[in-house]
């Protein structure tokens, strides 16, 4: 199975950020509150016609502001009670993209971030328990091509997990 790794945009690309008007912010705020909110309810909140919301949402998707609509599954409900942040040093000669793609193929890997400092990546993983975490670290993560060494932090609790910046209506 091929895994697509999202490339982050460079600082130059960030200058071209989409400018949101008040209506865009109202639509996005409503969807962040409830991603399944009907367009008619969003339109009523925003004081516009549903067709206007549909058109704006299509433009926001085309501009890459809205990447998709996903189900937000509670990992604890599925038995994944341990969250860990694994700081990874990578042999860059082995190819960073290859390492990231291999990490992306591991189902327990939730996020991978390229970072500055002593380590190259921080990898957010979910495990059922500490025995599962140990197995994940020793038999899978450490065998990823380019993996040099790691340091792992186990999260005691996660009081805030947000998926993207919160858009506030005016």
The model's pTM is 0.77
| Closest of 92, 83, 84, 87 to residue 150, by C-alpha | 87
CA distances from 80 to 61, 130, 139, 163 (A): 32, 10, 18, 19
pLDDT-based confidence at residue 167 (cuts at 50, 70, 90): confident
**pLDDT exceeds 70 at position 91:** yes
Segment among 62-71, 110-119, 132-141, 150-159 with least mean pLDDT: 62-71
Taking residues 98-121, report their average pLDDT: 97
**Mean of all residue pLDDT scores within the chain:** 89
Distance (Å, whole) CA 133 – CA 37: 37
Distance (Å, whole) CA 164 – CA 33: 12
**Is the distance from CB of 9 to CB of 24 less than 8 angstroms?**
no
Highest mean pLDDT among 16-25, 48-57, 60-69: 48-57
Dihedral (Cα; 47, 18, 112, 126), 10-degree rounding: 0
What domains sit in the chain, N to C, each tagged with a CATH number? Answer: 20-72 (1.10.10.10), 75-155 (3.30.70.920)
């Amino acid at each position: 199975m091929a895994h697509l790794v999202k490339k982050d945009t460079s600082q130059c690309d960030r200058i071209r950020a989409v400018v949101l008007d008040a209506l865009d912010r109202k639509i996005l705020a409503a969807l962040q509150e409830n991603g399944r909110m009907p367009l008619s309810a969003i339109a009523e909140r925003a004081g516009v016609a549903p067709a206007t919301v549909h058109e704006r949402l299509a433009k926001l998707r085309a501009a890459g502001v809205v990447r998709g609509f996903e189900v937000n599954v509670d990992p604890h409900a599925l038995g994944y009670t341990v969250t860990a942040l694994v700081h990874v040093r990578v042999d860059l000669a082995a190819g960073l993209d290859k390492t990231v793609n291999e990490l992306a193929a591991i189902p327990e890997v939730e996020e991978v971030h390229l970072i500055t400092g002593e380590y190259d990546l921080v990898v957010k993983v979910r495990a059922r328990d500490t025995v599962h975490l140990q197995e994940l670290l020793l038999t899978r993560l450490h065998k990823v091509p380019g993996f040099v060494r790691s340091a792992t932090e186990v999260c005691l609790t996660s009081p805030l997990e947000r998926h993207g910046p919160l858009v506030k209506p005016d």
